[in-house]
Amino acid sequence: MPRWLWPLLCFGCVTAERPAKSYSAALETDGEGPPFGSPDDAVAADSPEDLAAEVPELPGETLNASACPQATVLRSLLKQIGMAEDELKTIFEDPDDPRKRTVITWIDCNVEAIVLKRREDLRGVLSDDLLKLQDLKLLDLSNTGIGGNVATLRKARKLKDVWLQASRVFGDLAVLQNLTNLQQVSFRGSEIHGDLSAAFSNLPEFKFLDLSETKVGGNLAGLPQFPELRRLYLKNTQVFGNLKTVKHSQH
C-alpha cells in the first residue's frame, strides 16, 4: 500500500474536536483476510492504558452499600471475579476508605458503574449476577484477568460504556444486540467473536468501537450509519468492506 494512503485509514485521527465529513477510503481486502491488508499496513489503535483514560466518571452517592437491595447481588459478583473478603468489607462498609482500588457508583441504591481496570490480581469469572444489575451504565474490567461469557451483559439495557479490552471475556457479540444505549465499546484483545453487524445496530449515540485483535468478522455494509461515531478500530480482525458505508455526521 502506498504510504500516502495511510492517513486515510487512521480511524484514530477522527476526533470529536475535528470531525471528518465522511470516511474517504475503501478497505483493501479480498473479502477473506483482515480489512487493512497486511497487519503492517494497519493503523495501530491506542493502547489499553490510553483507552482507559476515556472512561467517564459518573456522579455517585456516599452510602453504606450493605443497606441497598442490590448489595447481595454485587457482593456475589465481586466475590466470583476473585475479590478478597477484606476488600469486599471495605467496599460495602467504608466506601470512603482511601485504600480502596475499586470504584462502585451507587445512585438511589442502584449500581450504575463498576470500574476494576488494571486489576490483574482478579482472575475469576463474570456470573449471572450481572443479569440482575439492570441499571448498570458503565463497566470497566480492562486489563484484568477476569473471564466469562459476554452473555452476562445481555439484560443491562442501560449500558453506555463497556471496556473489556485485554480481559479474558469471550462469547458471541450478537448477545449485545438489544443494548441500544451503547456509546463506547472496547473488546480489544479479548476472546470475543461473531458478526459485528449482528451486535451493533440502532445505536444513535454510538461514538467509539475497538474490536482489534479479536475473532470478529463481517461486512461493514451490514452496519447502519452512526452519526456520532468518532473512532473505529478493527486491526487484525476478519471485518471487510468499504469505509464509505460508515459515516460521520455532516458538520
Would you say residue 138 lies in a domain? yes
CATH of the domain at 121: 3.80.10.10
Question: Exposed/middle/buried for 229, CB within 10 Å: 0-12, 13-18, 19+?
Answer: buried
Would you say residue 250 lies in a domain? no
Interval 179-217: pLDDT, tens? 999 999 999 999 999 999 989 988 889 999 999 999 999
Instruction: State mean pLDDT over 8-33.
Output: 30
Interval 113-148: pLDDT, tens? 999 999 999 999 999 999 999 999 999 999 999 999
Q: Which of 35-39, 182-186, 213-217, 238-242 has the lowest mean pLDDT?
A: 35-39
Q: What's the CA gap between 87 and 182, in Å, rounded? A: 30
Q: What's the CA gap between 107 and 73, in Å, rounded? A: 16
Q: What is the pLDDT of residue 37?
A: 27
Would you say residue 69 lies in a domain? yes
Average pLDDT value over all residues in the chain: 76
| pTM attached to this predicted model | 0.75
pLDDT above 80 for 50: no
Q: What's the CA gap between 75 and 91, in Å, rounded? A: 9
Would you say residue 24 lies in a domain? yes
Instruction: State mean pLDDT over 58-77.
Output: 75
Q: What's the CA gap between 56 and 99, in Å, rounded? A: 21
Would you say residue 135 lies in a domain? yes
More confident residue, 149 or 227: 149
Q: Which amino acid is at 99?
A: R
Tell how far CA 100 is from the center of its chain. 24
Would you say residue 200 lies in a domain? yes
Q: 3-state SS string over the chain? A: CCHHHHHHHCHHHCCCCCCCCCCCCECCCCCCCCCCCCHHHCCCCCCHHHHHCCCCCCCCCCCCHHHCCCHHHHHHHHHHCCCCHHHHHHHHHCCCCCCCCCEEEEECCEEEEEECCCCCCCCCECCHHHHHCCCCCEEECCCCCCEEEHHHHCCCCCCCEEECCCCEEEEEHHHHCCCCCCCEEECCCCEEEEEHHHHCCCCCCCCEEECCCCEEEEEHHHCCCCCCCCEEECCCCEEECEHHHCCCCCC
With cut-offs at 50, 70 and 90, classify the pLDDT of residue 15: very low
Would you say residue 119 lies in a domain? yes
Would you say residue 251 lies in a domain? no
Q: What cell does 45 get?
A: 489503535
Q: What is the pLDDT of residue 122?
A: 95
| Segments forming the whole domain that contains residue 150 | 3-245
The total domain count for the chain is 1
Interval 74-112: pLDDT, tens? 999 999 999 999 888 888 877 666 556 678 888 988 999
Q: Angle 10-160-79 (CA atoms, 0-180°, nearest 5)? A: 115
